């Protein structure tokens, strides 16, 4: 084990990605203190939550899940920043696995048929090199033993949904951002749509515009973090 740990410490940075403290040998990516103390949403234990309220009347969701609650300049923001800007896809994978462990502990039966990350536009994907939502989704899919689908759904417009426009303008803005390449794959399926951060919910809403006409589709969402509107 020592050999493996020593080997891992050569590959992975040996400080916590949330609090920057040094990691002990048995720790990877996130220190035990942060694992226990980062602000978890526990929305899987509370189905009437802030995330489900965000989508009420906009997107019909079966499960509204997110791992952490986002706080400006907090540790969760540091974690997300490390994933997104330090090219740490393995960290996203690790966080996905960690969340799957929490979800598995519950009695709730998640009947997702397939896990689908919110796709990036190919230009953005080429620029960044990876889709952070996809790697988080991969961690979740591995942990929950559900299939991952990264090819049936695509982003056809680069348009940012995180605009400060008024709600009705945003609505006009979201149609046609995503498109379904393989409708067959989603017919009568329960899709767990996975994003890195949910704020206004505009991205998920845009995705739903492209999915809602699929026969028998059920949608749930999961994200690494949710920025609650105060
Ligand atoms: Zn830490």
Measure the CA–CA gap between 94 and 216, rounded to whole angstroms.
32
Provide the 8-state DSSP code for 118: P
Residue ranges with CB less than 5 Å from ion ligand 1:
16, 18-19, 31, 34
* Amino acid 218: pLDDT: 97
* Amino acid 128: pLDDT: 87
Instruction: Name the domain count of the chain.
Output: 2
Q: How far is the CA of 1 from the centre of ligand 1 (A)?
A: 23
Three-class secondary structure of residue 80 per DSSP? helix
44 and 26 inside one domain: no
Q: How many helices (H) and strands (E) does the chain have?
A: 9, 6
Domain that holds residue 48: 40-226
Q: How far is the CA of 35 from the centre of ligand 1 (A)?
A: 7
Indicate the Cα dihedral angle 172, 174, 43, 143, nearest 10°: 170
Q: How far is the CA of 137 from the centre of ligand 1 (A)?
A: 23
Q: How far is the CA of 16 from the centre of ligand 1 (A)?
A: 5
Q: How far is the CA of 86 from the centre of ligand 1 (A)?
A: 17
Residue 19, CA atoms < 13 Å, CB-side half-sphere = 14
What backbone torsions phi and psi does residue 43 show, to the nearest 5 degrees? -65, -20
191 and 207 inside one domain: yes
166 and 217 inside one domain: yes
Whether residue 138 contacts residue 195, with contact meaning beta carbons closer than 8 Å, is answered with no
Task: List the structure tokens of 47.
Answer: 């189905």
* Amino acid 224: pLDDT: 97
Measure the CA–CA gap between 159 and 196, rounded to whole angstroms.
17
Q: How far is the CA of 17 from the centre of ligand 1 (A)?
A: 7
CATH number assigned to the domain comprising residue 193: 3.40.50.2020
What backbone torsions phi and psi does residue 124 show, to the nearest 5 degrees? -70, -40
Q: How far is the CA of 42 from the centre of ligand 1 (A)?
A: 19
Whether residue 163 contacts residue 86, with contact meaning beta carbons closer than 8 Å, is answered with no
20 and 80 inside one domain: no
Whether residue 187 contacts residue 146, with contact meaning beta carbons closer than 8 Å, is answered with no
Helices 89-105 and 132-144, interaxial angle, to 10°? 40
Q: How far is the CA of 43 from the centre of ligand 1 (A)?
A: 22
Cα distance between the two ends of the chain: 46
202 and 218 inside one domain: yes
Q: How far is the CA of 214 from the centre of ligand 1 (A)?
A: 43
Could you say which residues of the chain have pLDDT below 70?
Answer: 1-13, 159-174, 229-230
Q: How far is the CA of 230 from the centre of ligand 1 (A)?
A: 26
Q: How far is the CA of 223 from the centre of ligand 1 (A)?
A: 20
* Amino acid 8: pLDDT: 61
Q: How far is the CA of 34 from the centre of ligand 1 (A)?
A: 4
Q: How far is the CA of 79 from the centre of ligand 1 (A)?
A: 10
32 and 138 inside one domain: no
pTM recorded for the entire structure: 0.88
Q: How far is the CA of 75 from the centre of ligand 1 (A)?
A: 8
* Amino acid 3: pLDDT: 67
* Amino acid 164: pLDDT: 47
Provide the 8-state DSSP code for 186: G
Q: How far is the CA of 32 from the centre of ligand 1 (A)?
A: 7
Measure the CA–CA gap between 136 and 118, rounded to whole angstroms.
11
125 and 213 inside one domain: yes
Whether residue 161 contacts residue 206, with contact meaning beta carbons closer than 8 Å, is answered with yes
Q: How far is the CA of 210 from the centre of ligand 1 (A)?
A: 39
Residue 64 bridge partners (DSSP)? 221
61 and 163 inside one domain: yes
């Amino acid at each position: 084990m020592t050999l493996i740990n020593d080997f891992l410490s050569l590959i992975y940075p040996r400080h916590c990605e949330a609090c920057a403290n040094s990691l002990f040998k048995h720790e990877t990516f996130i220190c035990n203190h942060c694992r226990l103390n980062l602000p978890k949403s526990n929305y899987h234990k509370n189905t009437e939550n802030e995330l489900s309220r965000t989508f009420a009347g906009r997107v019909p969701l079966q499960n509204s899940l997110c791992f952490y609650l986002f706080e400006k300049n907090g540790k969760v923001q540091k974690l997300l920043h490390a994933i997104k800007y330090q090219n740490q896809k393995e960290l996203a994978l690790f966080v996905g696995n960690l969340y799957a462990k929490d979800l598995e502990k519950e009695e709730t039966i998640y009947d997702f048929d397939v896990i689908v990350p919110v796709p990036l536009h190919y230009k953005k994907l080429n620029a960044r090199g990876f889709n952070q939502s996809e790697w988080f989704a991969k961690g979740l899919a591995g942990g929950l033993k559900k299939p991952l689908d990264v090819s049936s759904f695509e982003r056809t417009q680069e348009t940012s949904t995180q605009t400060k426009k008024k709600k009705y303008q945003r609505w006009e803005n979201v149609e046609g951002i995503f498109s379904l390449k393989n409708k067959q794959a989603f017919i009568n399926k329960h899709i767990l749509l996975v994003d890195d951060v949910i704020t206004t919910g505009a991205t998920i809403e845009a995705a739903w515009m492209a999915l809602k006409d699929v026969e028998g589709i059920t949608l749930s969402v999961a994200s690494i973090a949710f920025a609650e509107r105060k």
